[in-house]
Structure 1
Amino acid sequence: MKPLGRHVLAEIYGCDFEILNDIKKVEEIMVNAALEAGAEVRECVFHKFSPQGVSGVVVISESHLAIHTWPELGYAAVDVFTCGEKVDPWDACNYLTTNFSAKQMTAKETKRGIHPVTPHRVAVNM
């Protein structure tokens, strides 16, 4: 059976401090990464930390892109989860790597929602 989604966890290193510390720039790059991957953007929420760092999420029809930056380390932790076959999470990760002026990206993909052939229900008692 096909998985419901693909989840890529990316470690992006050697990024430009100024980019990773600029909430508007990080949001713009994240939204454009989603669009580059073929996703439909629904909502965005981003927060700027003091003295530095940005966290945010771009909600897409196909799931989400999330980020937390450590500008002082030139590092961004990125999470790209897409459902269906239309959107490629790797396209988003590659776009982010390029636009953060990164020197290196390592990532791993996990298939999500692989169901057994025979569906079953699970009862939860509360």
Structure 2
Amino acid sequence: MTTGQEWLVDASGCSPGLLKDAAALAALFEELLVLLDLKVVGQPQWHVFPEPGGITGLTLLAESHLAIHTFPEHGFAALNVYCCRPRTRPDFESLLARHLKAASCEVRELKRGVMA
């Protein structure tokens, strides 16, 4: 039995402009919330770093959290999705290509709290 699952997503070849656009990142989070049927707790937090930096975003969920860290100077975004209940894996490659113009994605899935 597992108590949760986590996806660690590295997106490369992203549009630097989109990696600095909080509205674009919020739209990505919104689509993930709908796809995974997640419930937001409180207000999402977005921190915009000075040039050439990107954005760090965090949304607390009843099921755990969504987090992203962007690096426009490298065309890279690191996305973390952690759910305390099993969910079907979203098509991260398509989502990040559409929202951030990612050229490639590496997705690692972890089972959390594995109990015998």
* Class of the TM-score when normalised by the shorter of the 2 chains: 0.7 to 0.9
Q: Could you tell me which runs of 5 or more consecutive residues in structure 2 were left unpaired when the two chains were aligned.
A: none
Specify which structure has the bigger relative contact order, considering alpha-carbon pairs within 8 angstroms and separated by 6 or more residues: 2
Aligned partner letter, 2:2: P
The CA deviation string for residues 53-73 of structure 1, in whole angstroms up to 9 with x for no partner, is 000111222111111000121
CA distance in 1, matches of 2:34, 2:113: 24
Aligned partner letter, 2:37: G
User: What percent of counterpart residues are identical?
Assistant: 28
TM superposition outliers: structure 1 runs of 4+ over 4 Å: none
Is the contact between residue 11 and residue 76 of structure 2 (CA under 8 Å) also seen in structure 1? yes
Measure how far apart 1:33 and its partner are. 1.7
Superposed counterparts of 1:83-102, under 5 Å: 83-85=84-86, 87-88=87-88, 90-91=89-90, 93-94=92-93, 95-102=95-102
Superposed counterparts of 1:31-50, under 5 Å: 31-43=30-42, 44-50=44-50
The CA deviation string for residues 78-105 of structure 1, in whole angstroms up to 9 with x for no partner, is 11111113x33x3173423431111100
Match of 1:120 in 2: none
Superposed counterparts of 1:1-126, under 5 Å: 2-43=1-42, 44-51=44-51, 52-85=53-86, 87-88=87-88, 90-91=89-90, 93-94=92-93, 95-116=95-116
Q: Could you tell me which runs of 5 or more consecutive residues in structure 1 were left unpaired when the two chains were aligned.
A: 117-126
| TM-score normalised by the chain length of structure 2 | 0.85
* C-alpha RMSD of matched pairs (Å): 1.7
Is the contact between residue 69 and residue 79 of structure 2 (CA under 8 Å) also seen in structure 1? yes
| TM-score normalised by the chain length of structure 1 | 0.79
